[in-house]
A and B are shown apart, each in its own frame.
Chain A
Amino acid sequence: MNGRRLCMSGLRPTRLLAVFLAADQALEIRSELRRIGGGSGSFRRRVALAVTTIAAAIVCTPASLARSIDSPQSAPAEPSRQPLVVEQKGPEDQGTVAPTLPPNTEPANFEGIWKSDHVRPLVQAALGTTGPLVTVEGTQPPYTAEGQNIFWHRMLMEQRGTPVANTAALYLPSIPLNSLSLDLEPFTILQTNTQVLVLWEDGTAWQIYLNKPQPRNLKPTYRGHSVGLWEGATLVVDSTGFNTRTWLDSHGSPHSGDLRFITRISKINHGRQLEFLTTFDDPRYYREPFTVRRTATWRPDLHLLEVEIENTRDENNEGMVYEDGEQPPRPAAKRSPGEN
């Protein structure tokens, strides 16, 4: 499945939603396969599925779905002043998850397997929302003019059928919290007196060093540098030191090298969920700090598998635009019927 072609083929958002729900079902089937044993076929399927899922999640953004592409050359509409539709409610509101083992009841012990509840950004698209990140107040991030221009540019490129490739599309790292928004896979947390370690199936490791100050003169990196301390049963994490290649979300919200965010992680719902309240601060692209909420559910029934990308950079990226200035692959030219 070519995710970009799917997005640009004129399918209605509801149809696309169904496609993605089917992909999610495939993942659930895969979860069943992993329980009964899969052999090498399962391994290859996992690689292929991971590539397909990541590619589709990257290119099928709400920007491409929320509006019909009647006039690709027209300027993007200003964002609605109405509050955006609040994100999909988590299991704490739906009561649908019944873990097979009781959760760890120690308030300040996050060890175990968790799965992000925010896995279907397309649900927002089907409801007509255009915001990439939604704040806890249900509004879009308070972009500065410069930040909004970059965001609109990326949204417009998406609508024109030449989406801008983010780092995930290039198989490069994202900021740690982006995994909470995109990943369909579980993650695990280990913790000691000196470190809280969050590991995702895609190999992403979020290392949170405890009771240490942020070092001076951090070298900018994709994942930045995170330090944390416990305030009672809440882990307060300070992250900074990012390069400027990553986005805050999969849709195009930019950040500068001055990005800093504070994430307050705590157990809720009697230990069945983790809540991540992240306050982003980046004066260049956002007028004021804003807070985004994510949750993850205790899933001791899941195992962490290994996900590896076996694509070259240009596979699945046909027609995309690279912001690093390199030449992207071009779509194959159409040939007339009689042409050799």
Chain B
Amino acid sequence: MRTENNRRAPLPSDRRVRTSMNDLGYLVLAVLLVGPLAAHADVDLTGLWRLQSSFQHEIKTTEGRTPPLLPAAAETYRKNLAKSAAGDFSFDKSQTLCTSPGMPRLVMLPYPFEIVQEPHRLAFVFQWNHRFRLVDLGGAPPIVDDLSYRGTASGHWEGDVLVVQTRGLVDTSLLDAGGMPHSEDLQITERYHLENGGRTLVSELTFEDPKTFTRPWKTVVTYRKLPPGTELDEDVCRERLAKGLPAFELDKWK
């Protein structure tokens, strides 16, 4: 993550820009600077959220269809679905070893998660097995220096919408519990906005991966806000596995 790239010492060029501007320039500059800051102040995603829309064991498009997979990916998905139906989860380390299910599955689990929002970055803290995810709000696109399950995420505000781009997702992770594959070229764009007086969080996710899909596609997920003061519970996935319980307690959250 690049979290500190917004802070830099003033450069001589900054001074030259300022001293050459007239009063109108100052006004324009003020509008440009204050506008985005005001948007930040108005939209606060802080709090605990829980999936409101249905949990998607097999991820679907907004229209409820199977995503437009290329033939090779479709074949892999078909095999994984068959294994899953037979109770064989060997294709998914999150179910056998409690490794992170990664993106987008982390934000599509029925477990609660907490958003901690700062002006320059934002953290998702997931209850499931104490995973987290950081989003740099510096505005620059994500710079991927390592592949991971959660990817590298950066975001910016477009009015009241938080736009988060995620790249750098390792291709051993999956897009759903059924085993939908993806390549390392996958890019996920999430567009978050509040509805219902701030009690509902809506996320529109766009998936782009030319090595896996014939075209970009979208799905929508909604979350409801949990009462103020609610805290995340400790969740230890390995403890469940040791007891012979599933890594994901989906029945508990129905």
Contact = CB atoms under 8 A, between A and B. Distances in A.
B99 A205 contact: no
A94 B148 CA distance: 35
A176 to B, nearest CB: 11
Of all A-B residue pairs in the complex, the 3 with the closest CB atoms, nearest first, are A306-B148, A221-B234, A43-B147
A319 B97 CA distance: 21
Interface stretch (A21-29, A53-61, A196-204, A262-270): A196-204
Nearest to A38: B146
Contacts of B4: 101, 112-113, 300
Interface string A211-224: 00000000001110
Nearest to B46: A192
A188 B136 CA distance: 13
Contacts of A192: 46, 116-118
Contacts of B145: 34-38, 303
Contact of B116 (A39, A112, A173, A197): A197
Q: Chain B interface secondary structure, helix, strand, loop or mixed?
A: loop
B65 interface: no
Interface stretch (B123-131, B203-211, B244-252): B123-131
A261 interface: no
Contacts of A113: 3-4
Contact of B100 (A39, A46, A306): A306
B146 A308 contact: no
A119 interface: no
B218 interface: no
B97 A43 contact: no
Given A37-B145, A197-B123, A190 B238 contact: no
B235 to A, nearest CB: 10
Interface in A127-183: 170-173
B132 to A, nearest CB: 5
A46 B134 contact: no
B149 A170 contact: no
Contacts of B93: 310
Given A190-B121, A221-B234, A300-B4, A309 B99 contact: yes
A304 B1 contact: yes
A303 B116 contact: no
Given A35-B145, A37-B144, A313 B242 contact: yes
Given A192-B118, A197-B125, A222-B234, A303 B1 contact: yes
A305 B146 contact: yes
A326 B243 CA distance: 11
Q: Chain A interface secondary structure, helix, strand, loop or mixed?
A: loop
A43 B99 contact: no
Interface of B: 1-4, 7-9, 46, 93, 97-100, 116-118, 121, 123, 125, 129-132, 134, 144-150, 170-171, 184, 231-232, 234, 236, 238-239, 242
A313 B8 CA distance: 45
Given A40-B184, A197-B125, A305 B148 contact: yes
Given A38-B145, A199-B132, A304-B1, A207 B150 contact: no
A324 B130 CA distance: 22
Given A304-B1, A308-B99, A203 B131 contact: yes
Given A112-B4, A197-B123, A222-B236, A190 B116 contact: yes
Interface string A9-53: 000000000000000000000000011111110110010000000
A108 to B, nearest CB: 15
Nearest to B126: A205
Nearest to B97: A310
B99 A188 contact: no
B146 A172 contact: no
A71 interface: no
29 contacts: A35-B145, A36-B145, A37-B146, A38-B145, A43-B146, A43-B147, A101-B7, A111-B118, A112-B3, A112-B4, A172-B238, A173-B130, A188-B1, A188-B134, A190-B123, A192-B117, A197-B125, A199-B123, A205-B125, A205-B130, A207-B125, A221-B234, A222-B236, A223-B130, A303-B3, A303-B145, A304-B134, A305-B146, A313-B238
